[in-house]
Amino acid sequence: MSCDRLQKILARAGVASRRGAEALIRDGRVAVAGRIVRELGVTVDSEREVVEVDGRRIEPEPLVYFVLHKPRGMVTTLRDPEGRPTVAAHVRAIGIRVVPVGRLDYHTSGVLLLTNDGELAAKLGHPRSRVEKEYLAKVRGPVAERELALWRRPIFIDGRWTQPAAVSLARTNGNKAWLSIVLHEGRNRQVRRLGEAAGQNVLRLVRVSFAGIGCTDLAPGQWRPLTRVELAGLRRRFPVPAGSCPSQ
């Protein structure tokens, strides 16, 4: 037998976001087994107890996991006050409310995970998890060991020093070079700032993998479910505690 927090069950059912679900509970619009619940943090066995919102029974949606090849010129939010394209346009066909895991900036393309599994998303987004992220950065060449050493140096972002990046030369193309950059943190515009500190501005940036998951099989804007092997690997490396019902 396992239990989940009531607001998590509501969010998974697509009723509202986790914060919106908390507002529904506080407003007395949620009932469990026929009893109005106003307290946050209540655990519920959704397999045995009926959950209702405004008198309508809700059913939890299944957990889903996808990878999107985010195109350039798109923000990784579901709504943008500036009216720019968002990832929401690419995931409506999923039919289940999902959210991005982490962020990619407007001009960066590549791997972006999407899920309705809030616990795993939070685990992957937490700095303590040290999720590996690999990027390819296009810069003007030539790039020798001296330049690579500059890329590997820690820099100061938001009041803290970054961890040294693993940087190597991936390939050259005329007077341009592609660098492979591996990070275990996700600081604001970190790769681009590393380039600025090294004196080589990033001309193009692609995230080629996130937690070992890539999207080379996808064109920009396409998405696919994670494979069983990919999902099993995520759960093994980034386990989240399972909820358990209190003793009766």
Mean pLDDT computed over every residue of the chain: 89
Domains and CATH numbers, the chain: 4-57 (3.10.290.10), 65-128+215-237 (3.30.70.580), 132-210 (3.30.70.1560)
Top-confidence residue, 28 or 11 = 28
Distance CA 78, CA 161 (A): 31
pLDDT at 1 over 50: no
Distance CA 2, CA 246 (A): 9
What local confidence, expressed as pLDDT, does residue 97 receive? 78
Stretch 217-244: mean pLDDT, rounded?
88
Cα distances (angstroms) measured from residue 241 to each of 55, 110, 132:
31, 30, 21
Distance CA 243, CA 12 (A): 15
Beta bridge partners of 163: none
Q: Is 105 a catalytic residue?
A: yes
- Residue 15's contacts (CB-CB under 8 Å, 6 or more residues apart) are 21, 24, 53, 58
Distance CA 30, CA 184 (A): 41
219: exposed, middle or buried (C-beta count within 10 Å: 0-12, 13-18, 19+)? exposed
What torsion do the CA atoms of 22, 27, 30, 36 make, to the nearest 10 degrees? 120
- Kindly indicate the confidence band of residue 211, based on its pLDDT and cuts at 50, 70 and 90: very high
Distance CA 40, CA 25 (A): 7
Name the active-site residue from 105, 117, 158, 217: 105
What local confidence, expressed as pLDDT, does residue 223 receive? 92
- Residue 238's contacts (CB-CB under 8 Å, 6 or more residues apart) are 120, 123, 124, 129, 131, 211
Determine the residue type at 46.
S
Per cent of the chain over pLDDT 90 is 59
pLDDT in tens, 155-186: 999 899 999 999 999 999 889 999 999 999 98
Q: How many CA atoms lie within 13 A of 233 on its CB side?
A: 10
Distance CA 195, CA 197 (A): 5
pLDDT at 6 over 50: yes
pLDDT in tens, 63-115: 899 999 999 999 988 788 888 888 887 777 777 778 889 889 999 999 999 99
Which stretches within 81-227 are classed as H helix?
88-91, 118-125, 145-152, 190-198
Distance CA 204, CA 227 (A): 29
pLDDT at 125 over 90: no
Stretch 210-226: mean pLDDT, rounded?
94
pLDDT at 216 over 80: yes
DSSP state of 40: T
What local confidence, expressed as pLDDT, does residue 248 receive? 42
